[in-house]
Structure 1
């Protein structure tokens, strides 16, 4: 097991511990103050029984989302570290650092690689202070979930600039999605201190464990609606979206912050 996985497991044990209320209140308030969390859409920090509860907090106030059926919304509150058009099957981890869709998705998705050539992509980085839940960006059918065990390097800007193939080496969960017969992928990338990635529709998925084999779950009928909660990171991490060629026109959001519910792309 890589050292990053071991560190993340120990941190995960601490984060899920429910300390006596007066101690937990100090921990939660300290975390909120240290990171400068905006809690206006959430419950009071003292409500959360563990640091994990605070990390994975639900919205207490319903978020307005763009309901246009031709619009993809941001699945997360995050910072767009890169976006654009693939050059054949190459996309950017960060400016000047390429990797391939094939390496990220693995040979299990090989039958769809040609569809993705010259398609579009967008990287969503969630910092530790962000809302950690991820949502459906549009109505779609989930065809497969692929869990790929791996390392847990940090995914902040410092590491994006120095760790080659970070999104290829890190543990990740891939959703293969169909909307109006068009293909797109959502890739959820684990990171240091992400003790677990949770998917509400598939409780069998267990990340950051001793599992070393790729796990594949296939679905005949698994529909989700735009805005549905798909799950959550237990700490900050990254989501990568990749669309098939000529299926969407993405907004130029490079180096901008986005909120779950805001428009990121339109169907062509």
Structure 2
């Protein structure tokens, strides 16, 4: 496939955001961004302490947030807006009210048909991370990662206006699909969806995945890769979306569309 113009634009922005612009100018860039976007920096270091705009985007907590240690509580993997959530009808989930996407399509060719069928008629949650949100993502529960699939694609914006007008946005955009199992053996997927100006999606346990760089798909399988609830496993370089797809009867959701959630907040109860 050829590089899409949205990918080229994102690479250009990424080079600017990754560059150290000199101490005083960088302070001005960081402070301007924090003020313009309305970032809440109370859990983080001061804006001027970050050497690049990307370092500010991918900031880590000074102290880890507290979250439920009950193994049956699923927590939000990120700070975000829930744009849609609910039941997957056969293999269709909502991109936004009135517009569906195919679960099989968003999972791509690197996931087997049998694995895809596991989440048919299950539950989905779309987490939208805006440019002002904390950009790192965490394990929502104790989990085993079976496979990571990188699917190159376009980098259209994923904000609400774009969700309403761009058909199959999650399928068109570049993404990384993680196939996982819960401690109870239920299958679920975390799909990291790229967006305009998201030059990279970092997967800390899989450095071979280089998003917005290579144009051919890749996939990696694991036998003994486990993440504990709350583990930090990477970040977006600016805002984007995480789609979570769960097997039927795996969880009872405690959220609804339009809710703002924070990483660590309990969003569902695992059915025992």
* Pair in the same fold by TM > 0.5: yes
Pairwise CA RMSD:
0.7
**1:217-243 C-alpha deviation (Å, 9 max, x unpaired):** 100100010000010000000000000
Report the counterpart of residue 231 of structure 1 in structure 2: 234
TM-score (norm 1): 0.98
SS at match of 2:110: helix
Question: Structure 1 residue runs of 4+, over 6 Å off?
Answer: none
> Is contact 2:107-2:116 (8 Å) kept?
no
**1:182-201 C-alpha deviation (Å, 9 max, x unpaired):** 00000000000001000111
The answer to whether 1:132 aligns with 2:151 is no
The answer to whether 1:201 aligns with 2:240 is no
Separation of aligned partners in 1, 2:65 and 2:239: 20
Separation of aligned partners in 2, 1:2 and 1:107: 20
Report the counterpart of residue 260 of structure 1 in structure 2: 263
Report the counterpart of residue 165 of structure 2 in structure 1: 162
SS at match of 1:7: helix
Separation of aligned partners in 1, 2:68 and 2:124: 20
What does 1:20-169 correspond to in 2, within 5 Å?
Answer: 20-109=22-111, 110-169=113-172
> Equivalent of 2:250, from 244, 247, 257?
247
State the Cα distance separating 1:108 from its structure 2 match: 2.5
Separation of aligned partners in 2, 1:15 and 1:212: 22
> Equivalent of 2:191, from 168, 187, 194?
187
State the Cα distance separating 1:252 from its structure 2 match: 3.0
Separation of aligned partners in 2, 1:6 and 1:144: 28
Report the counterpart of residue 177 of structure 2 in structure 1: 174
Separation of aligned partners in 2, 1:113 and 1:187: 13
Separation of aligned partners in 2, 1:248 and 1:91: 16
Query: Which consecutive unaligned segments of at least 5 residues does structure 2 have?
Result: none
Separation of aligned partners in 2, 1:71 and 1:171: 30
The count of residues paired between Structure 1 and Structure 2 equals 267
Separation of aligned partners in 2, 1:30 and 1:212: 34
Separation of aligned partners in 2, 1:238 and 1:80: 10
Separation of aligned partners in 1, 2:173 and 2:22: 35
Separation of aligned partners in 1, 2:95 and 2:66: 30
